[in-house]
């Protein structure tokens, strides 16, 4: 089976923020308010199946937007293709991310990721070994945690 | 463990061709003449380990450059971030790829990928389930096969 996704023209629901970053993929669907603070747009690139056991997608975080804390039973790989943002693993310092950065989060570690306050972030994600599970969503990242470098 | 790769300034060994595409990652190392026709530059993004069992990297194919035929025991996912190129699975028609396209090649299928004759291609690759093996290199793609749409 060969999957081929065209690079569709994206809808520009927020021209001011979107202009800050270059997008490779369609903007996609607005993420649920249950799992995100602010606006995060998710686009699926490779759906989960038993051949690859791998989920791939893109998320565009508008400035200030971030995921809730969450856990991936088999870990996650994040690849930043434009903009600026953060990644934090529970108990570790917040990392600043920019275009070309690649970070990993090990299996069963709590983490969150999102844009910086001033600039959005284009972020691809890879969830490997999905036979072990995909994601367990937890509580929101408070403004204090989001703003702290620790 | 957290891996963080900075977006280093890339060396511009071939300004004319490189100007055709936008790069997210460092240009990397020139691929072996044994496995590539023309110049293909490879940059590792996630090294193989037993936590993720996943290899991620970027290849910049200069115009006309392509891989040999090869096989991935667990398959491969290709993500095109700029430029234009081709992907062909043995026995199937050649596919034309452009920015934003995502294609998969199933386990144990012969395939090749590379740039178009006129324009280079920036291509990320994901090799999942590396515990099953990574790659078996085969013979070069002839000029006739490269030029044929079938």
- pLDDT value of residue A146: 98
A46-82 in b/e form (b: 16+ CB < 10 A) is beeeeebbbbbbbbbbbbbbbbbbbbbebbbbbbbbb
Q: What is the C-alpha separation between A138 and B4, in angstroms, rounded?
A: 25
Domains and CATH numbers, chain B: 29-139 (2.60.120.10)
Neighbouring C-alpha atoms within 13 Å toward the C-beta of B83: 30
Query: What count of other Cβ atoms lies within 10 Å of the Cβ of residue B64?
Result: 18
Looking at CA atoms only, how far is residue A92 from chain B in angstroms?
10
- pLDDT value of residue A13: 47
Q: Considering Cα of B141, then B143, then B145, then B150, what sign does the dihedral take?
A: positive
Chain A positions with Cβ closer than 8 Å to B: 1-8, 22, 24-26, 45-46, 51-54, 56, 74-75, 77, 79, 81-82, 89, 92, 95, 98-107, 124, 126, 128-129
- pLDDT value of residue B149: 84
In which element (H, E) is residue A139 found? none
Please give the average per-residue pLDDT across B41-60, as a whole number.
98
Residue B62 has which token pair?
Answer: 């200069």
Decide if pLDDT at B12 tops 50: no
Contacts of A69 (CB under 8 A, 6+ apart): A90, A110, A111, A112, A138, A139, A140, A141
Rounded to the nearest 5°, which phi and psi values hold at A130?
-65, -10
Cβ separation B79–A56 shorter than 8 A: yes
Q: What is the C-alpha separation between A143 and B125, in angstroms, rounded?
A: 36
CB B28 within 8 A of CB B45: no
Among B5, B99, B106, whose Cβ lies nearest the Cβ of A102? B5
- pLDDT value of residue A20: 72
Instruction: Pick from B100, B101, B122 the residue to mutate for testing the A interface (most A CBs within 10 Å).
Output: B100
Residue of B128, B142, B145, B124 lying closest to A24 (CA atoms): B124
More confident residue, A5 or B126: B126
Could you tell me which chain A residue has the CA closest to the CA of B8? A100
Cβ separation B128–A53 shorter than 8 A: yes
Q: What is the C-alpha separation between B52 and B55, in angstroms, rounded?
A: 8
**Integer distance in angstroms from the first to the last C-alpha of chain B?**
45
Instruction: Pick from B1, B3, B4 the residue to mutate for testing the A interface (most A CBs within 10 Å).
Output: B4
Q: Name the 3-class secondary structure at A29.
A: strand
Please give the average per-residue pLDDT across B52-63, as a whole number.
98
Among A3, A89, A106, whose Cβ lies nearest the Cβ of B51? A106
Decide if pLDDT at B36 tops 90: yes
In the DSSP assignment, the letter for residue A6 is: -
- pLDDT value of residue A144: 97
Task: Print pLDDT tens along chain A (150 aa).
Answer: 344 444 433 444 454 544 579 999 999 999 999 999 999 999 999 999 999 999 999 999 999 999 999 999 999 999 999 999 999 999 999 999 999 999 999 999 999 999 999 999 999 999 999 999 999 999 999 999 999 987
Q: Considering Cα of A45, then A126, then B99, then A59, what sign does the dihedral take?
A: positive
- pLDDT value of residue B6: 40
CB B86 within 8 A of CB B66: yes
Q: Residue B15's pLDDT band (boundaries 50, 70, 90)? A: very low
In which element (H, E) is residue A147 found? helix A143-147
Could you tell me which chain B residue has the CA closest to the CA of A100? B7
Among A7, A22, A101, whose Cβ lies nearest the Cβ of B101? A7
């Amino acid at each position: 089976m060969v999957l081929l996704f065209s690079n569709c023209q994206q809808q520009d629901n927020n021209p001011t923020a979107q202009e800050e970053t270059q997008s490779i993929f369609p903007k996609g669907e607005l993420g649920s308010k249950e799992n995100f603070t602010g606006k995060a747009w998710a686009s699926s690139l490779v759906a989960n199946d038993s051949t690859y056991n791998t989920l791939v997608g893109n998320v565009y975080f508008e400035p200030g937007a971030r995921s809730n804390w969450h856990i991936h039973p088999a870990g996650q790989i994040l690849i930043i293709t434009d903009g600026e943002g953060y990644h934090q693993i529970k108990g570790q310092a917040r990392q600043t991310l920019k275009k070309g950065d690649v970070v990993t989060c090990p299996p069963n570690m709590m983490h969150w990721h999102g844009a910086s306050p001033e600039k959005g972030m284009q972020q691809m994600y890879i969830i490997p070994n999905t036979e072990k599970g995909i994601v367990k969503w937890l509580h929101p990242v408070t403004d204090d945690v989001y703003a702290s470098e620790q």
